[in-house]
Amino acid sequence: MNGAGKRKINKGGSQMKVDLHSHTTASDGVQPPAENVRLAKQKGLQAIGITDHDTVAGIPEAIAEGKMIGIEVVPGIEISSAHEGVDIHVLGYYINYENKDFLDRLEKLRDVRDLRNQMMVERLQKLGIEITLEEVNARKPARKKGENIGRPHIAEVLMEKGIVDTMEEAFRQYLGREGKAYVNPPRIRPGEAIQIIRQAGGVPVLAHPGLYNLDEAVIDLIENHGLPGIEVYHPDHSEEDEERYRQIAERYQLIITAGSDFHGERNGDVFHAPIGTKTVDYDVVNRLKEWAKTSSG
């Protein structure tokens, strides 16, 4: 995982590392933003990205904690979109997270999210499972503006009721793409997610492309929608995935990012992986900042 260009050397003499993908209680992570930042500091990282689904609500707390304990926080987001029914996630870095238009736009995306939760609960009810939207929403009792609920919260209720034993089972049986309660209302297209991020002054980066099996669409986003970056290193990528996307990144001179996609621990399982398991050199942070300054908007 080498970045090109100037290198920052830390006291141990090795290259400083950053993890650019993590979730907090602002979306479907288990830990509050400050805790992700503390974990990153413990792991010896130089910077940590906070990239919650369709919200920037966790960023201020993370930045405040980072200042206090001395670690850089990269403000980010992970926007949910869909290409022919397949969920495509677009990361955005250095978005202007206080911009009114951007925040309004995110609120609309979260409305679709709420609608989808409701539709999934209705499907579960039709399957004879006693579950209500209130029970799902109660997983996040003091929900502040911007904080949202997703499928993992529905899964938690299914586990609590003993309907499934694990998160994996909840997704396999009910909530995942092949699951019996799966629904996906119309979402924005990935090209629109890229636009929203650019308009907010940020850098769009395609999240975990290896999870989609849609490489033609990936190339289309690069060639026709101005996608400048790609998450080559992710816990769910195989070595072949990494190699393939590294080559694509080289061919189009994209910014290569990495992230653990940390969500914390549910029922003993860490999804996707602990903070710091996938990292790139700190140079990537400089490239993201540079791109946001010169190319976005």
- Report the interface residues with ligand AMP, using CB under 6 A: 28, 53, 80, 150-152, 167-168, 171, 176, 263, 271
Tell me the window of 26-34, 73-81, 117-125, 231-239 that interacts with Fe ion (CB under 5 A). 73-81
Q: Where are the alpha helices (DSSP H) in 77-128?
A: 100-126
CB of 271 to Zn ion, least distance (A): 8
Say whether residue 89 binds Fe ion (CB under 5 A).
yes
- The amino acid that residue 175 corresponds to is L
CB of 135 to Zn ion, least distance (A): 20
Residue from 28, 72, 231, 283 touching Zn ion (CB under 5 A): that is 28
Q: How far is CA 250 from CA 54, 190, 194, 228, 230, in A?
A: 29, 22, 20, 12, 11
Residue nearest to Zn ion (CB): 28
207 binds, options ligand AMP, Zn ion, Fe ion, none, Cβ within 5 to 8 A by partner type: Fe ion
Q: Distance between alpha carbon 180 and the CA centroid of its chain, in Å? A: 25
134-141: Cβ within 8 A, 24+ apart: 140/25
151 binds, options Fe ion, Zn ion, ligand AMP, none, Cβ within 5 to 8 A by partner type: ligand AMP
Q: Is the dihedral of CA 32, 277, 269, 207 positive or negative?
A: positive
End-to-end CA distance of the chain: 29
CB of 166 to ligand AMP, least distance (A): 8
233 binds, options ligand AMP, Zn ion, Fe ion, none, Cβ within 5 to 8 A by partner type: none
Tell me the window of 20-28, 32-40, 99-107, 218-226 that interacts with Zn ion (CB under 5 A). 20-28
The encoded tokens of residue 41 equal 């500091």
Instruction: Give the C-alpha separation, 191 to 166, whole Å.
Output: 34
* Residue closer to Zn ion, measured from CB, 29 or 228: 29
Say whether residue 231 binds Zn ion (CB under 5 A).
no
CB of 116 to ligand AMP, least distance (A): 7
- Residue 172 DSSP one-character state: I
Instruction: Give the C-alpha separation, 221 to 108, whole Å.
Output: 23
Binding site for Fe ion (CB under 5 A): 78, 89, 207, 261
